[in-house]
């Protein structure tokens, strides 16, 4: 895997915002590992960097397939850059509440509970098995991106006053759609 920041290999595609049905649709498993899939992953990296994100799921650029990319730090501060196809998530450990945001809900951040550790198993663009285990920001990212592929967004994880504040802010942000 050699997706470097600043690489011009892919094409930036527009980010879909909350309100677009593709973000509420459960994505399909990838079954064809071909040049189109490689192009999708390249485009996802370029789109994520263009939008200054640390993670991106395929449905955030309108493609309903189980693929995500990320570039974020693990709990040791090491930068992790990778893609995962057909991820299966296992998250455990205590719930940690920290600020979370999403490219599909621009400008908003809310304290969101996530498990402290997460493992994702899946495959890469060539169909080879990959396994990622992380804590800290990486664990949060793996849970966030897997959620997208199941039609979820992070505000679905909120409750009480935080959830009410998030829903108010989303209603106020009419300019997205």
- Which residues are near Zn ion by CB under 5 A? 102
Cα angle vertex 103, ends 99, 105, to 5°? Answer: 75
- Closer to Zn ion by Cβ: residue 42 or 145: 145
Nearest residue to Zn ion, by Cβ distance, number only: 102
Contact 72, 45 (CB under 8 A): no
Q: Cβ 105 to Zn ion, closest distance in Å? A: 7
Q: Cβ 60 to Zn ion, closest distance in Å? A: 6
Torsion angles phi and psi, residue 108, rounded to 5: -105, 145
Q: Cβ 151 to Zn ion, closest distance in Å? A: 12
Other CB atoms closer than 10 Å to residue 88's CB: what's the count? 12
- Closer to Zn ion by Cβ: residue 125 or 154: 154
Site of tokens 């498990």: 115
Element (H, E) at 133: strand 129-135
Beta strand 109-123 with 55-57: parallel, antiparallel or unpaired?
unpaired
- Closer to Zn ion by Cβ: residue 48 or 102: 102
Annotated catalytic residues are 145
């Amino acid at each position: 895997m050699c997706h470097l920041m600043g690489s011009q290999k892919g094409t930036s595609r527009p980010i879909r915002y909350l309100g677009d049905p593709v973000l509420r649709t459960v994505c399909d498993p990838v079954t064809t590992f071909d040049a189109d899939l490689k192009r999708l992953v390249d485009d996802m990296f370029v789109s994520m960097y263009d939008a200054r994100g640390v993670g991106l799921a395929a449905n955030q650029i309108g493609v309903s397939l189980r693929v995500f990319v990320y570039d974020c730090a693990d709990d040791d501060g090491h930068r992790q850059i990778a893609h995962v196809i057909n991820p299966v998530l296992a998250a455990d450990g205590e719930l940690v509440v920290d600020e979370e945001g999403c490219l599909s809900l621009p400008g908003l951040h809310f304290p969101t509970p996530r498990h402290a550790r997460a493992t994702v198993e899946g495959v890469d663009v060539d169909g080879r098995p990959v396994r990622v285990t992380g804590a800290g920001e990486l664990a949060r990212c793996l849970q966030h991106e897997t959620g997208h592929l199941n039609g979820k967004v992070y505000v679905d994880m909120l409750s009480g006053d935080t959830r009410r504040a998030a829903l108010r802010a989303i209603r106020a942000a009419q300019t997205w759609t």
